[in-house]
């Protein structure tokens, strides 16, 4: 499977339990048909359930605390997430920001456990700082655009890609602000992003399963350099 591109379905707290499992199964099915990674995030309590129900996706936790087994009542233990089936983790999302010290420790513990790190950044300057931490995926997403349906402008996309790659050419770059339909997915990948993802555009769609599949297919077209088919 290609390690250079990826799509992330991040339902946040919109979905859980059986409804989330059904969409995860849809993602798992389409993941067999494409040559790139598909991640599905899940609430902590659903990680094991989603892992048991799927074979081809990477199950992703929405956060962790950079602690070791021991004291830490109420904290999110990285080792527990790994044991539950998580293969990746989101860190520093706008809805769960971390201090620099917390982020450094969280990345360290994730690496120790072999968890793929997906770290969020708001501005170009913040993205450049995060790029020095050796993260796997850097999500460049202006906070004010999250959930608005308004995508990042081309200059932001190109600037963040160029700046980050100059610091660490190995980090994969995700652009996902305002992604709400397959054409948005196609366009952002065509601009040079390694990956993208979606929350509300999928969970609030008339047919979430169909939207998820159509977005993945649009991404595949962009990666191959083929024209977008509006009939998707």
Q: How many domains does the chain have?
A: 1
Residue 158 lies in a domain: yes
pLDDT above 90 covers a percentage of the chain that reads 76
Residue 61 lies in a domain: yes
Residue 145 lies in a domain: yes
Q: What is the pLDDT of residues 178-194, one digit of tens each?
A: 789 999 999 999 989 99
Mean pLDDT of all residues in 91-103:
94
Residues serving a catalytic function are: 93, 141
Predicted pLDDT at 123: 81
Name, in order, each residue with C-beta under 8 angstroms of 164's C-beta and a sequence gap of 6 or more. Answer: 127, 128, 131, 138, 140, 171, 173
* Residue recorded with tokens 């994730």: 110
DSSP symbol at 156: H
Predicted pLDDT at 146: 46
Residue 229 lies in a domain: no
Mean pLDDT of the residues in the chain: 90
Q: What is the dihedral of CA 182, 187, 189, 193, to 10 degrees?
A: -130
Q: Which two tokens stand for residue 169?
A: 């050419």
Residue 1 lies in a domain: no
Residue 59 lies in a domain: yes
Predicted pLDDT at 145: 44
Residue 232 lies in a domain: no
CATH number of the structural domain spanning residue 213 = 3.20.20.70
User: Residue 84 belongs to what H/E stretch?
Assistant: helix 78-84
Q: What is the pLDDT of residues 103-148, one digit of tens each?
A: 999 999 999 999 999 999 888 888 889 999 999 999 987 654 444 4
Residue 69 lies in a domain: yes
Mean pLDDT of all residues in 52-72:
97
Mean pLDDT of all residues in 96-105:
95
For residue 194, give its domain range.
6-224
Q: What is the pLDDT of residues 2-39, one digit of tens each?
A: 468 999 999 999 999 999 999 999 999 999 999 999 99
pLDDT at 232 over 70: no
pLDDT at 163 over 90: no
3-state secondary structure 88-148: EEEECCCCCCCCHHHHHHHHHHHHHHCCEEEEEECCHHHHHHHHCCCCCEEEECCHHHCCC
Lowest mean pLDDT, pick from 54-68, 76-90, 131-145: 131-145
Predicted pLDDT at 230: 65
């Amino acid at each position: 499977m290609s390690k250079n591109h990826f799509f992330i379905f991040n339902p946040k707290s919109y979905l859980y339990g059986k409804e989330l499992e059904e969409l995860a199964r849809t993602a798992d099915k389409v993941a067999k048909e494409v040559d790139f990674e598909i991640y599905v995030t899940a609430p902590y309590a659903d990680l094991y359930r989603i892992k048991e129900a799927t074979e081809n996706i990477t199950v992703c936790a929405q956060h962790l605390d950079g602690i070791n087994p021991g004291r830490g009542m109420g904290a999110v233990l990285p080792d527990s997430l790994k044991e539950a089936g998580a293969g990746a983790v989101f860190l520093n999302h706008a809805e769960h920001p971390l201090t620099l010290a917390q982020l450094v420790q969280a990345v360290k513990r994730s690496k120790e456990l072999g968890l793929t790190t997906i770290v969020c950044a708001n501005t170009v300057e913040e993205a450049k700082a995060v790029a020095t931490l050796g993260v796997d995926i850097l999500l460049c997403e202006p906070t004010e655009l999250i959930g608005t349906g308004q995508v990042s402008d081309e200059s932001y996309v190109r600037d963040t890609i160029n700046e980050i790659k100059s610091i660490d050419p190995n980090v994969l770059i995700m652009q996902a602000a305002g992604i709400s339909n397959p054409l948005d997915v196609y366009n952002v990948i065509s601009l040079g992003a390694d990956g993208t993802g979606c929350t509300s555009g999928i969970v609030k769609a008339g047919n979430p399963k169909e939207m998820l599949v159509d977005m993945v297919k649009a991404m595949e077209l962009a990666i191959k350099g083929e024209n977008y088919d509006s009939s998707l």
